[in-house]
Amino acid sequence: MAPMPHNRILTTGDPRGAGLDPARLRRAADLVDRWVADDLCPGVSLLVARRGVVALSHCAGSAGHGPVSDDTVFLIASITKAVTATAVMLLVEQGLVALGEPVCRIVPEFTREGRERVTVWHLLTHTSGLPAQPADNIEIRRAHRGLDAFIAAACREPLAFAPGTRISYSNPGFGLLGEIVARVATPLPAFAREAIFAPLGMVDSYLLPPDRIVARAAHVRLAPGEEPTDYDANSAYWRSVANPWGGLFTTARDLALFCQCFLNGGTYGGTRVLSPAAVAAMTAEHAGPHLVPADGTLAPVSRGLGWDRRGGKRGSCFGDLVSGATYGHTGVTGTMMWADPDRELLCVLLTNQMNGTGRARLGCLSNVVAGACV
């Protein structure tokens, strides 16, 4: 049985008061400092909190326009999916969307060739059969086309397998989830701002970042051999797409508020954002190791609704020392967040390095953070 959540408010305090060994916790800061020194990433922002106490808030390296600081904004890439899933679950709570509902009932263009069997649940668990990217992903970006072009592409993508029979990570699937929010309620940038960010006090979180946020955004260093374009992660075009699968700009502090809300069972600061039932559903295992990944590997996968789960996995980016109840997400820009409800522990890591520092290094950092608990 999961522990009863507390209504914690994040405040900076003594690590010892939160059951964290300061010397062991310092190892986490030293580790990311070495990443910067070894040029694995230009800059980093790391935040660790336990029992509502922010025990470590550490910044190092360059944002491209100056040193990384607590208010540096990062493009967090696929961590965005946890926010998009939360928006969908808010509609589920309101009775406007059902997890077992066929997507074509809301997005009629998404039909034929077996697509009528794809449900909202399939999209949330990456079991729809849709590919990682639409076939014409680069062509759409080169032409500076909007989100509607990506949705149209998702609606014509052939399914690689029967829905629910395998797992295949899919950005188009989360594009469709954002489209569901837009058609049932309002466009996702506004919905997320009003229903999630504002109630939680996430004042620096935007899917459509204004100029004042862009000015504070860390420049993403592209992967080796990748040339800058007018449609890459740093482009004004890409910021304008507001994609539901990876377009969120935010800070480590804001993401910590989001994680703490989940650890609190859906509340923060006396405001309920999500029901305990929805939190439990999102963080439970829905698609597990019994489903073979579509790429043919036998690596165990555990998915919640919009979250990855630690489950029984070993060697994941969440490390080996967090509890099996841990849930989180990573992003291709070198970002990671996770929450361990058994220890009331959360970790947010933001970097500005495309393709990140590698899952093994993320796992090592997670182990250091979890190992600081006493």
pLDDT per position in the chain (374 positions), as tens? 455 678 899 999 999 999 999 999 999 999 999 999 999 999 999 999 999 999 999 999 999 999 999 999 999 999 999 999 999 999 999 999 999 999 999 999 999 999 999 999 999 999 999 999 999 999 999 999 999 999 999 999 999 999 999 999 999 999 999 999 999 999 999 999 999 999 999 999 999 999 999 999 999 999 999 999 999 999 999 999 999 999 999 999 999 999 999 999 999 999 999 999 999 999 999 886 666 566 655 455 689 999 999 865 666 789 999 999 999 999 999 999 999 999 999 999 999 999 988 889 999 999 999 999 99
pLDDT at 357: 82
Q: Write out the two tokens for 110.
A: 């998404």
pTM for this predicted structure: 0.96
Q: Round to whole Å and give the CA distance between 68 and 12.
A: 19
Q: How far is CA 160 from the centre of its chain?
A: 24
Q: How far is CA 276 from CA 22, 101, 179, in A?
A: 32, 22, 25
Q: How far is CA 167 from the centre of its chain?
A: 18
Q: Round to whole Å and give the CA distance between 44 and 218.
A: 10
Angle at 5 between CA 100 and CA 59, to 5 degrees: 95
Question: What CATH code would you report for 11-371?
Answer: 3.40.710.10
The three-state DSSP-derived secondary structure of 153-184 is: HHHHCCCCCCCCCCECCCHHHHHHHHHHHHHH
pLDDT at 306: 96
Q: Write out the two tokens for 332.
A: 């291709």
Q: Write out the two tokens for 107.
A: 């997005």
pLDDT at 57: 98
Q: Could you give the 3-state DSSP secondary structure of residue 307?
A: coil
CB proximity list for 374: less than 8 A, separation 6 or greater = 19, 20, 21, 24
Q: What kind and span of H or E run contains 371?
A: helix 359-371
CB proximity list for 279: less than 8 A, separation 6 or greater = 262, 265, 266
Q: Could you give the 3-state DSSP secondary structure of residue 152?
A: helix
Q: Round to whole Å and give the CA distance between 273 and 361.
A: 33
How many angstroms separate the first and last alpha carbons of the chain?
Answer: 22
pLDDT at 269: 95
- Residue 292, by phi and psi: left (phi above 0), alpha (psi -120 to 50) or beta? beta
Q: Could you give the 3-state DSSP secondary structure of residue 89?
A: helix
Sequence spans of domains, the chain: 11-371
**Buried/exposed 178-216: b ≥16 CB within 10 Å, e otherwise:** bbbbbeebebbbebbbebbbebbbbebbbbbbeeebeeb
Q: How far is CA 108 from CA 103, 104, 114, 189, 361, in A?
A: 8, 4, 13, 22, 43
Residue 259's Cβ-count burial label (10 Å; 0-12, 13-18, 19+) is buried
Locate all alpha helices (DSSP H) within 222-270, ordered by sequence: 236-241, 252-263
Q: Round to whole Å and give the CA distance between 183 and 186.
A: 7
Given a contact cutoff of 8 angstroms between Cβ atoms, the answer to whether 314 and 320 are in contact is yes
